[in-house]
Amino acid sequence: MEGQDEQTTGARAADGSHADIYGEDGAILSSFLAAIGAAIADRDTLTLKREVDDLHQSELGDLLEALHPEQRRALVELLGADFDFSALTEVDEAIRRDIVDSLPNAQIAQGVQDLDSDDAVYILEDLEKEDQDEILSQLPFTERIRLRRSLDYPEETAGRRMQTEFVAVPPFWTIGQTIDYMREDNNLPDRFSQIFVIDPSFKLLGAIDLDQILRTKRSIKVEEVMHETRHAIPATMDQEEAAREFEQYDLLSAAVVDENDRLVGVLTIDDVVDVIQQEAEEDLLRMGGVGDEELSDSILSTSRSRVPWLLVNLLTAFLAASVIGLFDRTIEHIVALAVLMPIVAGMGGNAGSQTMTVTVRALATKDLDIYNAGRIIRREMGVGSINGIIFAILIGLVAAAWFRDPNLGGIIAAAMIINMFVAALAGILIPLLLDRFKIDPAVASAVFVTTVTDVVGFFAFLGLATWWFGVR
């Protein structure tokens, strides 16, 4: 029966060493949360330490996010030196700032010292310059130099994301020597999947994967089995580009080198996974007209970050309205036009969004390039024409029946074909053009595409009606 129980509770149950703090729905169990809350209220440090001791950094992070702000700060304060700072890399930026701001710089200096350099940098990079300097000044010399080097690289580069702890050996060592060195050295990184081969000036010569070391005889020299430094990543490379290298070549880790080809750090797949998630999220949010907001942001900062997008949309909405205004006398005569016109504009907008979504995504993943752009443009024009005809017939018939006017049906059908075709063209050409001019298509495409489909939709429908019914 015990085996059965283990099975049904899934992945985490097989693990003896972790507390099972999540419910069926993936949220933290409310019983666990209540216990932690009670211990915080009682300032029961002993219980708290026991409860969070087993937690993985990401589980502690989830716990912090589930607590109220006062509870969070109290928990970190009560845990004192036992608080695992790596949990701060797993929470929203606003929560991280809130906790870090509540701590004295001395405690932060103590806390980041135990972390891998990439995690330490992740926490320090958000701080004010003065706090950063004060904390760095309290660190041992080598630590300070390492963190400073990472922080000196621009944001969102490989240099900023790299870990400065790595294992490097000279090329003339044997595999046996290398293994013995690793058995003896207590300063190895927590986890690593390859070791690097360097010359005395730290210039990168090559790398060996750990599985390669394990299948090689002890007497063989490192330089005989190392592979030359495939995919060494310049420290100034954009993190998104570095992530694409990892994806394309299925890397687990990669050497990061400075402008003189010297090994300065290692980029690992777990950081890259975070970058991939973040970039995918950015594209999705931008297409939805949202900037870099997080769930923990306040009402005012959220409101402020969304206003610019709405403002741009307002301008285009007035543009569309002024197109309608051109035909006010026609609408006065045939009020059915006012009833039907949002259909023409709206359907064009939806068709345009479909094409635009595919285009923006293909541009982001580099699947769309000069070799297939022509073919994809032709395909979208084809799809726009076919769907335009299908929906023209549908809408034309319904409109004719609704207002008992076959002329109206014909006019809306013609307007639909025009707008769906223009929508397809706008949906692909606008992102392509923005990309060519180095503007992020995810940010700006939607507003341009819907402007085009609104303006063309209203103009085609009302214009055709004005001409056909001969108003004015």
Q: Which of the residues 396 through 435 are near its own copies (CB under 8 A)?
A: 398
Binding piece for its own copies, criterion CB under 8 A, among 99-107, 123-131, 143-151, 363-371 = 363-371
How many residues lie near its own copies (CB under 8 A)?
141
Beta carbon nearer to its own copies, 125 or 294 = 294
Site for its own copies in 49-68 (CB under 8 A): 56, 58-59, 65-66
Residues 208-267 touching its own copies, rule: CB under 8 A, are 209-211, 213-217, 227-234, 237, 242, 244-250, 252, 257, 259-261
Q: Binding its own copies by CB under 8 A: which of 46, 141, 370, 437? A: 370
Report if residue 95 touches its own copies, rule: CB under 8 A.
no
Dihedral sign (CA 236, 237, 238, 243): negative
- Please list every residue from 196 through 215 that binds its own copies, using CB under 8 A: 204, 209-211, 213-215
* Min separation Cβ 176 and its own copies, Å: 11
Work out whether 444 is an interface residue with its own copies (CB under 8 A).
no
Q: Is 276 in the site for its own copies (CB under 8 A)?
A: yes
Interacting stretch for its own copies, rule CB under 8 A, among 38-46, 71-79, 147-155, 178-186?
178-186
Residue number with CB closer to its own copies (147 or 213)? 213
Of residues 8-37, which lie at the interface with its own copies (CB under 8 A)?
10-12, 14-18, 25-28, 33
Least Cβ distance, residue 287 to its own copies (angstroms): 7
Give, as ranges, the residues between 302 and 361 that touch its own copies (CB under 8 A). 302-303, 306-307, 309-310, 313-314, 317-318, 320-322, 324-325, 328-329, 331-332, 335-336, 338-343, 345-347, 350-351, 353-354, 356-358, 361
